[in-house]
Amino acid sequence: MGLVEGILFGNKAQITQLLRRLNLATESTKAVEIRDFPSEAEAVTAAVRNVAIGEADILLKGKTKTSTLLKAVLDPQQGLKTGKLLSDVFLFEDPGRDNNQLVMISDGGVTIAPDLKQKVEIIQNAVELAHLLGNTNPKVALLSAVETVTSAIPSTLEAAAIAKMNQRGQIKGCIVDGPLALDNAISPEAARIKGLESPVAGVADILIPPDIESANMLAKSTTYWAKFRLAHVIMGAKAPILIPSRADSADAKLLSIALGIVVSSVGGVTTK
C-alpha cells in the first residue's frame, strides 16, 4: 500500500520462510530490509535502539510478547524513554455521533493500577493525541461505577480530585469531569435523565477507566460486540509504539499503523 518502508528484526531465515508461505515473497518484499538476530531479545533491543536513534520512526511489535518489547522500551540505556509515563490509547469511530466522531480509551495496555499522579499522565498522553488529531479541547471523562463521590469506591475520590485539578488549571488543554458512569459519559439521554449538568457528560471524547482491566475490556468490547473499527498507540515515548494483539484483525493492525504514521508525521518526523 506504500504507507511505510519496513525494517524487520528477527531470525532472517524464519522471516523469509514465512513470507514465502504467505505468498508474500514478491519483488517488492524482497526489497524489505531484514536484520538477522539469533535471539528474540537481541532483535527487540536492536529494534528499540533503531527507533531511539531516529533511523526508524515507529516501533511495531511483531510476534514477540508485549512485556518483552516494553522491557526493552523502558530500559533507559536504549534511549526511547522521555521521562513521561507510557500509556496505550485506543481510538475508535463512534457511528452514533456526528461525523463518526473519534473516541479514545486509556490506559488498556501498560499501567496496571494507576495512582492519581499516573492517571493525570494518562490523561495528558491521550489529550496530546487528541490535539495531534485536531481536537484542540477534548472532553475527558473519568469513569467509575457511579457518578457520585463515595469513599466506598476509591476511583470516585481520585476522579473528583483530578476534575478539580483541571478546574484549577493544573491539567491543561482539555475539560475533565468525573466520576461518571459509562452511560452518562457517552449518552446525552442518560446524562439528562440523571440530571447531570456537565460539559463532559454525554459527549466525552476521552474515557479514562479506573485500571488496565476495565480499560482493556471496554476497548475490546467496542470491536468484538459493537464492531467498531479500532486502533491504538502507546504515547509518552520519543516515537509512537504499536502493540497490536496477535488476535487483532488485519484492519485493526493497518489502522494502528496509520495512526502511528499520523503521530510520527505531525511531530515533524518523516515516516520510514
Domain shared by 202 and 142, yes or no: yes
CA distances from 180 to 68, 91, 149, 168, 265 (A): 35, 20, 10, 19, 34
pTM of the model: 0.92
User: What total number of domains does the chain contain?
Assistant: 2
Whether 110 and 55 share a structural domain: no
pLDDT average, residue stretch 29-57: 90
Query: Does residue 1 lie within any of the structural domains?
Result: no
- Is residue 49 assigned to a domain? yes
Q: Residues 134, 213: one domain?
A: yes
pLDDT of 31 > 80? The answer is: no
Q: Is 245 domain-assigned?
A: yes
Give 74: exposed, middle or buried? Use CB within 10 Å, 0-12, 13-18, 19+.
middle
Q: Flag whether pLDDT at 269 surpasses 60.
A: no
Q: Are residues 93 and 225 in the same domain?
A: yes
Are 195 and 116 part of one and the same domain?
A: yes
Say if residue 245 is in the same domain as residue 225. Answer: no
pLDDT in tens, 117-174: 999 999 999 999 999 999 999 999 999 999 999 999 999 999 999 999 999 999 999 9
Residue 2 falls inside a structural domain: no
Read off the C-alpha cell for 131: 490535539
Residue 272 lies in a domain: no
Domain presence at residue 213 = yes
Does residue 1 have a pLDDT over 60?
A: no
How far from chain centre, in Å, is Cα 263? 11
Q: Which of 44-48, 60-64, 95-99, 247-251 has the lowest mean pLDDT?
A: 95-99
- The parent domain of residue 44 ranges over 7-82+237-266
Same-domain check for residues 78 and 187: no
CATH of residue 223's domain is: 3.40.718.10
Please check whether residues 24 and 93 belong to one and the same domain: no
Structural domain contains residue 271: no
248 shares a domain with 175: no
Q: Is residue 21 part of a domain?
A: yes
User: 110 CB contacts (<8 Å, ≥6 apart)?
Assistant: 70, 85, 86, 87, 88, 212, 234
Co-location of 70 and 115 in the same domain: no
Helices (H) and strands (E) in the chain, counts: 10, 10
Residues 94 and 226 in one domain: yes
pLDDT attached to residue 9: 96
Residues 43 and 158 placed together within one structural domain of the fold = no
